[in-house]
Structure 1
Amino acid sequence: MATRSTATLRPPPGDDEGEGPAVPGERPRPFLRRPRFATVALALPVAFMVLVYAYPVGAMLLKSVTEPEFGFGNFGRAVSDATTWHALGVTVRMSAEVAVLTVLLGFPVAYVLARVTARAARILSVLVVIPFWTSVLVRSFAWIVLLGDGGVVPRLLSPFTGDTAGLLYSEAAVVIALTHILLPFPILIIKGTLDQIDDSLVRAARTLGAGPVRAFLRVYLPLAFPAIVSSGMLVFVIGLGFYVTPALVGGPKESTIAVVIAQSVQVTFDWGLAAALATMLLVVAVALTVIVRRLTKVKGLVSL
Structure 2
Amino acid sequence: MTTRTPAPGPPRGGPGGERRRRGRPRLRRPAFAAVALGLPVAVMLAVYAWPVGAMLVRSVTEPEPGLSNLVRAVTDPTILHVLWVTVRMAAEVAVVSVLLGFPVAYFLATSPPRRARVLLLLVVIPFWTSVLVRSFAWIVLLGDGGLVTRLLHPLTGDGRGLLYGEGAVVVALTHILLPFPVLIIKAALDRIDGSLTRAARTLGAGPLRAFALVYLPLAAPATAGGGVLVFVIGLGFYVTPALVGGPKESTIAVVIARSVQETFDWGMAATLATLLLLLAVGLALAVRRLTAVKGAVAP
Q: How many residues are treated as equivalent by the alignment?
A: 297
Tell me what 1:39 maps to: 34
Tell me what 1:169 maps to: 164
Deviation, 1:41, is 0.8
| C-alpha distance in 2 between matches for 1:34 and 1:132 | 40
Report the AA paired with residue 256 of structure 1. Answer: T
Tell me what 2:97 maps to: 102
Question: Residues 242 and 258 of structure 1 are in contact (CA less than 8 Å); yes or no, is this contact kept in structure 2?
Answer: yes
Report the AA paired with residue 271 of structure 1. Answer: W
- The secondary structure found in structure 1 opposite 2:21 is coil
Question: Residues 102 and 183 of structure 1 are in contact (CA less than 8 Å); yes or no, is this contact kept in structure 2?
Answer: yes
Pairs within 5 Å for 1:9-158? 21=21, 28-158=23-153
The answer to whether 1:249 aligns with 2:244 is yes
TM-score (norm 2): 0.92
Deviation, 1:287, is 2.1
Tell me what 1:267 maps to: 262
* Worse-superposed segment, 251-260 or 289-298: 289-298
Tell me what 2:253 maps to: 258
What whole-Å deviation, never above 9, does each CA across 1:211-245 have from its counterpart, x for those lacking one?
11111111111111111011111111111111111
Deviation, 1:148, is 0.5
Question: Residues 56 and 270 of structure 2 are in contact (CA less than 8 Å); yes or no, is this contact kept in structure 1?
Answer: yes
- The secondary structure found in structure 2 opposite 1:21 is helix
Deviation, 1:302, is 6.0
Question: Residues 20 and 30 of structure 1 are in contact (CA less than 8 Å); yes or no, is this contact kept in structure 2?
Answer: no
Pairs within 5 Å for 1:210-249? 210-249=205-244
Tell me what 2:274 maps to: 279
Question: Residues 94 and 230 of structure 2 are in contact (CA less than 8 Å); yes or no, is this contact kept in structure 1?
Answer: yes
Report the AA paired with residue 182 of structure 1. Answer: L
The answer to whether 1:191 aligns with 2:186 is yes
Question: Residues 289 and 301 of structure 1 are in contact (CA less than 8 Å); yes or no, is this contact kept in structure 2?
Answer: no
Distance 1:56 1:9, change over 3 A: farther
Question: Residues 229 and 298 of structure 1 are in contact (CA less than 8 Å); yes or no, is this contact kept in structure 2?
Answer: no
Report the AA paired with residue 181 of structure 1. Answer: I
Question: Residues 20 and 31 of structure 1 are in contact (CA less than 8 Å); yes or no, is this contact kept in structure 2?
Answer: no
Distance 1:83 1:6, change over 3 A: farther
The equivalent position to 1:201 in structure 2, one of 184, 196, 199, is 196
Q: Which runs of 5+ in 2 are unaligned?
A: none
Q: Which runs of 5+ in 1 are unaligned?
A: 23-27
Distance 1:29 1:194, change over 3 A: same
| C-alpha distance in 1 between matches for 2:116 and 2:9 | 63
* Worse-superposed segment, 294-303 or 100-109: 294-303
| C-alpha distance in 2 between matches for 1:271 and 1:285 | 21
TM-score (norm 1): 0.90
Report the AA paired with residue 21 of structure 2. Answer: P
* Worse-superposed segment, 41-50 or 277-286: 277-286
Tell me what 1:25 maps to: none
Deviation, 1:14, is 7.9
Report the AA paired with residue 268 of structure 1. Answer: T
Report the AA paired with residue 88 of structure 1. Answer: L
The answer to whether 1:160 aligns with 2:159 is no
| C-alpha distance in 2 between matches for 1:8 and 1:298 | 61
What whole-Å deviation, never above 9, does each CA across 1:186-217 have from its counterpart, x for those lacking one?
11111111111111111111111111111111
Tell me what 1:179 maps to: 174
Question: Residues 74 and 80 of structure 2 are in contact (CA less than 8 Å); yes or no, is this contact kept in structure 1?
Answer: yes
| C-alpha distance in 1 between matches for 2:4 and 2:105 | 73
